[in-house]
Structure 1
């Protein structure tokens, strides 16, 4: 190959490379797609939603435990503990709802942790109360002894509140994490497990009532679907809109308040109705219990908001 031919060949190669680069270069007249900036206030908004959820569950536990422990005449002095911790959890949840600062609060952290520990200890007490009776862990004792699921709701309230403070403790512009797990996924998984536990308690009490009202099937059918949907969201893609999951969680939230209305109606049907409220309120279906579904549904919606605002895939 002559020197001139070699030079011509090299020149053609360079021109070809330049042409290839030009044809694959982005059009400077069109904007280049960039990832959307993370809203620094999004984590605080989600944390405030979780504060509301924790407060609603705490209020439910406060009213429910007050009635149940009044029925037990506060025979054990420790029966005052869940009233105190759930009341404090309710107060700090209201404080967290109003707090727009992107940093955790030590007092809220301490009270939420105390509520969760109190619920854990209470679950142990209630389980011991069931097993010490003749027949042990039998249906009869599960139906009419201290409800195992009631103090577990206090665990959920404390856990949701504690997680809300972890969500606040996030560097602006980054994905919030809890123990190295994206916060949206962690809260969604906790919500799914909490819903399943609450369904178990509702199923036990409605089985005791023989499902005499067809509406008694709703708390054991609708919330499990919500638990499955939010559990799937916890393990799936975060960029999906999840419209069905959102609407089903909203349905579950409405179901919680509707359940309180149904239980109030059940109290009114007892002998003497509301005129005999001192007895019927204690012996009738627990009015404060169903709103726990509402609190967990709100936590699930907060988790979806976190995953939407802070996608990690």
Structure 2
């Protein structure tokens, strides 16, 4: 069921944000009390998505997650702009990342979309058929995730060939989802989303191996979890692939009516 898949995508994306924010904000010593907000919002959104319910409370949780993500994106952008040099590669590499709060926005949006498509048939989102709207949204989400992965892997000098995978495979899904958003039909879209989902799983293994290769490996996990490749990042590809397949399912359902 498309609505259930969207709930699960929201849950997984929120969990990724929760773990990533917990690590990054711990590294920042929770200097600003607002740094606790995304942890609470993502935890609640992950719980709501895992339950896959359609209650009014879940809608409130998702809306709160979306608003928290928007506020976090604005705060991270402000943090980046006020650093010496402003918008430059150095600050994009090391300032507060824009991708994490944006992922929380997506988690909230998917959760809200799930409640709408479950309660209204055929559902529309932003004046568009739900399948087409979600295809476009997911294409944007995957493109943003590719950009962030590409930037961080560039910082790592692409020292392993596997680091090219997140910037070569997911863009195929972006292209097919954009075609779907325009109303086109393509059987290769599901296959590309499957590869993107597989990359999300394999990426955790690659990042775990990257942590193991650091000085002290997993025995020095307290330091290497902070300085090594982020474990919570790759599952976002899996979550977005799940949402993309749900969007295609909604589009197919709309054609059958």
TM-score by length of 1: 0.79
- What secondary structure is seen at the aligned counterpart in 2 of 1:311? helix
Superposed, which structure 2 residues align to 1:248-267 within 5 Å? 248-267=192-211
Q: Structure 1: how far apart are the matches of 2:194 and 2:11?
A: 18
State the aligned residue count: 257
* Alignment of 1:215 onto 2:171: no
Q: Structure 2: how far apart are the matches of 1:148 and 1:188?
A: 22
Q: 1:89–1:158: 8 Å Cα contact kept in structure 2?
A: yes
Match of 1:152 among 99, 102, 124: 102
Superposed, which structure 2 residues align to 1:98-177 within 5 Å? 99=53, 104-171=54-121, 175-177=122-124
- Structure 2 counterpart of 1:199: 146
Q: Structure 2: how far apart are the matches of 1:141 and 1:170?
A: 44
CA-CA distance at 1:220 after TM superposition: 0.8
* Alignment of 1:246 onto 2:193: no
Q: Output one character per residue of 1:162-197: Cα deviation in whole Å (capped at 9) or x when no partner.
A: 1111111214xxx22223311111111111111111
CA-CA distance at 1:144 after TM superposition: 1.2
Q: Output one character per residue of 1:43-65: Cα deviation in whole Å (capped at 9) or x when no partner.
A: xx211110011111011111110
Superposed, which structure 2 residues align to 1:269-280 within 5 Å? 269-280=213-224
Specify every segment of 5 or more residues in structure 2 that has no aligned partner in the other structure, as ranges: none
* Alignment of 1:46 onto 2:2: yes
Q: 1:182–1:312: 8 Å Cα contact kept in structure 2?
A: no
- Structure 2 counterpart of 1:56: 12
Q: Structure 2: how far apart are the matches of 1:65 and 1:143?
A: 16
- Structure 1 counterpart of 2:231: 287
Say which structure is richer in helix.
2
CA-CA distance at 1:142 after TM superposition: 1.1
Q: 1:230–1:245: 8 Å Cα contact kept in structure 2?
A: yes
Match of 1:73 among 5, 8, 29: 29
Specify every segment of 5 or more residues in structure 1 that has no aligned partner in the other structure, as ranges: 1-44
Q: 1:133–1:141: 8 Å Cα contact kept in structure 2?
A: yes
- Structure 2 counterpart of 1:10: none
Structure 1 or 2, whichever has the larger Rg, is 1
* Alignment of 1:83 onto 2:39: yes
The two structures, once aligned, show a CA RMSD in angstroms of 1.3
TM-score by length of 2: 0.96
CA-CA distance at 1:312 after TM superposition: 7.3
CA-CA distance at 1:248 after TM superposition: 0.6
CA-CA distance at 1:147 after TM superposition: 1.1
Q: Structure 2: how far apart are the matches of 1:199 and 1:179?
A: 25
Q: Output one character per residue of 1:136-180: Cα deviation in whole Å (capped at 9) or x when no partner.
A: 111111111111111111111111111111111214xxx222233
Q: Structure 1: how far apart are the matches of 2:46 and 2:227?
A: 26
- Superposition misfits of 4+ residues, deviation over 2 angstroms: none
